[in-house]
Amino acid sequence: MAKLRYYDATAEKLPTIPPKVAVHTEFLRTGRINRRQWLPSERRYLSYEEVADRTGKKLSTAGDTTHKRINGFHTSIQFPKMIFHRTLVGRPHLGYCHVTAARTPVTPSKDITWSFYFANFFCNLGDETHFFESIQPGYSRMYFAVAIEPGAQAGQMVINRNFRDNGLLFRTDDPKVALKNVLMLGAKDDALRRIIRSL
């Protein structure tokens, strides 16, 4: 894959050039709107660090909004705010954001710990070395939750592959479905789960 170059289209102000004739008459005469084109010498190219920083700010803002929406549903379903983001190496315009983590009882004697994420791309989830496979950058987002467990190093969490091969609880591109799934994982009683299922 060719190395991507990013440029800041908003960095320089466009000089105002007075039109020769009124714009609307030029449009009616030719059917074209005269738009100023960027010259390659006028472009200010961004470094990967600048692109990653801008992507990170957008992901963090979206993470805050997502967390508020999840906790705003019902007072009995409250999740801790654990927002952090990562951008992909070599593609700093793509990244993912961790929103929250919680524990859900699967059976009366067994709980599962999970983390909820979203990404600004859609892909398949794979193994440890290539967790994001077949990335489709498009304009879609991906919302997903994975089962986690404590890792070998103190304070480190890793994917719980005993639950499934990739530890995936759910993955969707629909924010409403993602919200419903997270709320189902956080619901404490069956009455609340029935209400969430009916949404």
Q: pLDDT tens digits for 139-169?
A: 688 999 998 888 777 777 888 877 777 788 8
- pLDDT class for 18, splitting at 50, 70, 90? low
Q: How far is CA 180 from CA 13, 148, 156, 165, 186, in A?
A: 44, 20, 28, 24, 10
The CA distance from 20 to 160, in Å, is 67
Highest mean pLDDT among 29-33, 98-102, 129-133, 134-138: 98-102
Give pLDDT tens digits for 80-107. Answer: 999 999 998 888 999 999 999 998 877 7
Question: Which residue in this structure is represented by tokens 């004739």?
Answer: 21
In 10 A of CB 159, how many CB atoms? 21
What is the pLDDT at residue 151? 77
Reported as half-sphere exposure (CB side, CA atoms, 13 A), residue 81 has a value of 12
Paired residues of 89 in beta bridges = none
pTM comes to 0.74
In 10 A of CB 132, how many CB atoms? 17
How remote is the C-alpha of 155 from its chain's centroid? 24
Reported as half-sphere exposure (CB side, CA atoms, 13 A), residue 71 has a value of 15
